Amino acid sequence: MSDGKRESTAETVDPGETAEAVTEDSPARDSAAGGPAPEDSARKDSPPEDSAPEDPSSPEDASSHKAAEKEVEKGTQEAAGEAGRSKPVRRGRLAAVIGVVGELLITAGLVLALFVVYSLWWTNVLADRQAAKQGDRVREHWAAGRGPGDLDTRDGIGFLHVPAMSGDDILVKKGTDPKELNQGIAGYYTEPVKSGLPQDQSGNFSLAAHRDGHGAKFHNIDKIDKGDAIVFETKNTWFVYKVFKILPQTSKYNVDVIDPVPKGSGKKERGRYITLTTCTPVYTSKYRYIVWGELVRTQDVDEDRTPPAELR
């Protein structure tokens, strides 16, 4: 055994390939057993000799190993199947480690790609499904005449319609925790500044929703212009707001934008306002995008729930 090892080490041309030398055991054993081995090992040794001048400086290079292996394989194909079987072991330990690291890196890349698929597609699928179910339930409650008067806060208080932003009606529920917002809805703030409600005599009805993923209900918030209509639908009333100011970028610490008299909107007196907040630029949460509207009129809901002129 050790004889064979020493012999093959001496025969190997590359000085750094001690790992390879170990695998030379089996052909060496073959030669001890006789048969076609002497001829075989002679042929086997010659290819590395041939390939050595090509890259003598990089004995650790995996590709040169591979090239050498290929030639070895070619040379011994007819003679020794056994040598072919022991081929994978011939790659150095370093090459094996590099291979595993490479596979892990590829795996990490795939996982990150999957995360993008998850956040931009799958969360939308889930949230839209959930929001549609909840929205249907709210409408059923309304149709059945249940719920405490104008307000049913359990499943949602109503629907937001912003024709300039999206054709969907967006269910509005209480709270802006991720748990709520991830259901594909818009939430009205309970903190840090408590939101007013549309039917209040004065106050700021402040809403937040996702820009991307989880329904992405406010994705096209940048399509809203000054003067566009924002309509909030409750069981008995349409509240029609008109956008009067847009703040395309502000810090997330700027909580004054949802004050009852929102700071930065230009308004100085109390009134019936609506504030839409979401993150910007798209796909990030670096800043906040703010849209302010003011109530222009209300309209009673008729039997057919005919939408107000702004939505037609």
* Binds another protein (CB under 8 A): choice among 31, 124, 288, 293: 288
C-alpha distances out from residue 35 to 1, 8, 39, 63, Å: 18, 18, 9, 32
Catalytic annotation, residues = 279
Q: Which of 265, 279, 138, 275 is nearest to 217 (CA)?
A: 279
Side chain identity, residue 310: E
Binding part of the chain for another protein, among 127-135, 154-162, 171-179, 299-307 by CB under 8 A, reads: 171-179
Could you report how far apart the first and last alpha carbons of the chain are, in Å?
Answer: 90
Q: Mark residues 178-197: x for contact with another protein by CB under 8 A, - for none.
A: x--x-------x-xxx----
* Binds another protein (CB under 8 A): choice among 114, 143, 296, 309: 114
Q: Is the peptide bond before 47 cis (omega within 30 degrees of 0)?
A: no
Q: Is 93 in the site for another protein (CB under 8 A)?
A: no
Helix (H) or strand (E) holding 233: strand 229-233
Nearer residue to another protein within complex by CB, 100 or 143: 100
- Residue 189 to residue 256: CA distance in whole angstroms: 12
User: If you search the block for the tokens 């798209």, which residue do you land on?
Assistant: 282
Q: Is 284 in the site for another protein (CB under 8 A)?
A: yes
Nearer residue to another protein within complex by CB, 202 or 284: 284
Q: Is 77 in the site for another protein (CB under 8 A)?
A: no
- Residue 230 to residue 268: CA distance in whole angstroms: 21
CB-based burial of residue 84 (10 Å sphere; 0-12 exposed, 13-18 middle, 19+ buried)? middle
Name the minimum Å distance from CB 106 to another protein: 9
* Binds another protein (CB under 8 A): choice among 161, 214, 219, 235: 214
* Binds another protein (CB under 8 A): choice among 283, 297, 306, 309: 283
* Binds another protein (CB under 8 A): choice among 49, 54, 78, 103: 103
* Binds another protein (CB under 8 A): choice among 6, 70, 252, 297: 252
Q: Is 139 in the site for another protein (CB under 8 A)?
A: no
For residue 165 the two structure tokens come to 């932003």
For residue 108 the two structure tokens come to 């990490």
Structural contact between residues 192 and 177, judged by C-beta atoms closer than 8 angstroms: no
Residues that bind another protein (CB under 8 A): 99-100, 103-104, 111, 114-115, 118-119, 122, 176-178, 181, 189, 191-193, 208-214, 218, 250, 252-258, 277-279, 283-286, 288, 290
